[in-house]
Chains A and B, each alone.
Chain A
Amino acid sequence: MDGTAAALPVRRPDPAVAVISMAGDITGASEGPLMAAYTQADGPGTRAVLLDFGPLGYMNSSGIGLLVTMLVRANRQHQRLLAFGLNDHYRQILSLTRLDEAIQVHPDETSALAAASGRGTGR
């Protein structure tokens, strides 16, 4: 159950939207960096948090568990959690684990941003 625990970059393409880059391995060892990234993303006025899975290397079941914890935190703040950049494999994992019923999945950042700002829906 190894995994990198490097900091996860956070950027803000819109004042109400933060994007967390799910870079490297997301495993149980990623709890600190992932929650630190969420804390950084959770600024005043944040209405949606986007998870960019494009740079993801590997994610195991403990990593999936961390997404649930992050989802709970986001719900508590009345924020939406969206995902984009998933390859076919991890799109299937989110479907298998039924996380895609709570985390809206988009093919790319453009459509995720549009959905986050209410300009689109889509999956």
Chain B
Amino acid sequence: MTAPQTPPLPKPSLASETAETPETPEPGAARPTTAPARQEGTWAAPVERLDGSRLPAGAINLAGRRPTSPIQGFGQLWQKTFRVQLPGAATTPAQVIAAWKEHYGEFWPAGNRFSAPLTGLAPGEVGVIRSAQGPMQLSTGVLVLYADDESFTFMTPEGHPFAGWITFSASAEGDAPVAAQVQALIRASDPIYEVMFKLGFGKVEDQMWVHTLTQLAAYFGVHGQSVETSITCVDRRRQWAHAGNVWQNAGIRSSIHTVGAPVRFLARPFRRHA
């Protein structure tokens, strides 16, 4: 991973060229209009369940899974914000986001792999995650919920440790240097993950985002910059109605899949091929 002297400018979006003032609707009435140009292509198309035919070979715990919001999770609701400034970097927020999308997995700590879709981190695409934390193997992914020139958001599927959204953004306010930010609005998906987070997995996750932002800053030639962290518990209550999410737990299913690998290997010659 080498820092470019001049990161390439992303292609200007049609949206920014054609932003327009929306029509004034009748008071209190729905507007049966199409989305303004500014919104086109930034949100994923409606998806009930992740389409297995569009996933890379070997991806498990994703096909048929529903994307989840913080509402469908089990544990306490947390808003976690990690932010790093990029002083001295001759870059724009759009350039930061373009580089972040392109090299997303390269900024992660060792032991974690992110496979971006071939078409890039575009709305509606699914990225595959393979992670190893100690003895725990985890194979899951994320749906790209939203993406514009200065931000993109992942939505987690059923079975992912978190239920919720993670937004990656870059901004430049006034004379301040460009800043990059990760903001997660998440609950642990099920009781097992909630216990794991309380036992330290949550801190590992926090360190992962600090590492990511440190690597992103280094990509733009910024070193030694501290990552500001703000962690707020938005809702202390646990949603026991969603305790059954444990059935989809990708950590458990990934471990079972790993343990079952020798059996699947031995059974291969006896499988019927279509």
List the interface of chain A (C-beta within 8 A of B): 1, 28, 52, 54-58, 60-62, 64-65, 68-69, 71-72, 75-76, 84-89, 91-93, 95-99, 101-102, 107-110
Contact in complex: A54, B67 (CB < 8 Å): no
B29 pairs with A108, CB closer than 8 A: yes
How far is A85 from B24 in the complex, measured between Cα atoms in Å? Answer: 12
In the complex, per-residue mask of B198-230: 1 if CB is within 8 Å of any chain A CB, else 0? 000000000000000000000000000000000
Give B219 Cβ to nearest chain A Cβ, in Å. Answer: 20
Q: Contacting A54 at CB < 8 Å: which of B28, B42, B150, B185?
A: B28
Q: State A55–B27 Cα separation when bound (angstroms).
A: 8
A87 near B32 (CB under 8 angstroms)?
Answer: yes
What residues make up the interface of B, taking CB atoms closer than 8 Å to A?
A: 21-22, 24-36, 38-39, 42-44, 46-47, 66-72, 77, 79, 93, 145-146, 148, 150-151, 153, 155, 165, 167, 169, 171, 183, 185, 234-235
Asked whether A98 lies within 8 Å of B28 as measured between CB atoms, the reply is no
B27 and A54 contact, CB distance less than 8 A: yes
Inter-subunit contact B38/A58 (CB<8 Å): yes
Query: Which residues of A sit under 8 angstroms from B32, Cβ to Cβ?
Result: 87-88
Query: In the complex, which of the residues B21, B66, B93, B165 contacts A61, with contact meaning CB atoms closer than 8 Å?
Result: B165
Q: Which 7 A-B pairs have the closest CB atoms?
A: A109-B28, A89-B35, A61-B153, A61-B146, A87-B31, A72-B235, A98-B69
Bound-state Cα–Cα, A61 to B88, Å: 29
Q: Are A98 and B35 in contact (CB under 8 A)?
A: no
Q: Is the CB of B234 within 8 A of A86?
A: no
Are the C-beta atoms of A65 and B39 separated by less than 8 Å?
no
Given contacts A61-B145, A68-B70, A88-B34, could you give 20 more A-B pairs where the C-beta distance is less than 8 Å? A1-B93, A28-B169, A54-B26, A58-B36, A62-B151, A62-B169, A65-B79, A65-B185, A68-B185, A85-B28, A85-B29, A85-B30, A87-B35, A89-B43, A91-B30, A92-B43, A92-B46, A98-B71, A102-B71, A108-B30
A101 contacts across to B, CB distance below 8 A: 71-72
Question: Given the complex, which residues of B lie within 8 Å of A95, measured CB to CB?
Answer: 46
Q: How far is the CA of A95 from the CA of B185 in the complex (A)?
A: 18
Min distance, Cβ A76 to any Cβ of chain B, angstroms: 8
* Inter-chain contact A72/B167, CB cutoff 8 Å: no
Whether the pair B31, A54 counts as a contact (CB closer than 8 A) is yes
Q: How far is the CA of A92 from the CA of B66 in the complex (A)?
A: 15
Which of these, A75, A89, A98, contacts B34 with CB under 8 Å? A89
Instruction: Note all chain A residues with C-beta closer than 8 A to B151.
Output: 1, 60-62
With A96-B47, A98-B72 already in contact, the answer to whether A57 and B148 are too (CB < 8 A) is: no
* Interchain CB contact (< 8 A) of B30 among A69, A84, A99: A84
Smallest CB separation, B176 vs chain A (Å): 14
Is the CB–CB distance between A54 and B25 below 8 Å?
Answer: yes
B148 touches A72 (CB 8 A): no
What's the minimum C-beta distance from B131 to chain A, rounded to whole angstroms? Answer: 23
Q: In the assembly, what is the distance between CA of A47 and CA of B34, in Å?
A: 33
Q: Do B69 and A60 touch (CB < 8 A)?
A: no
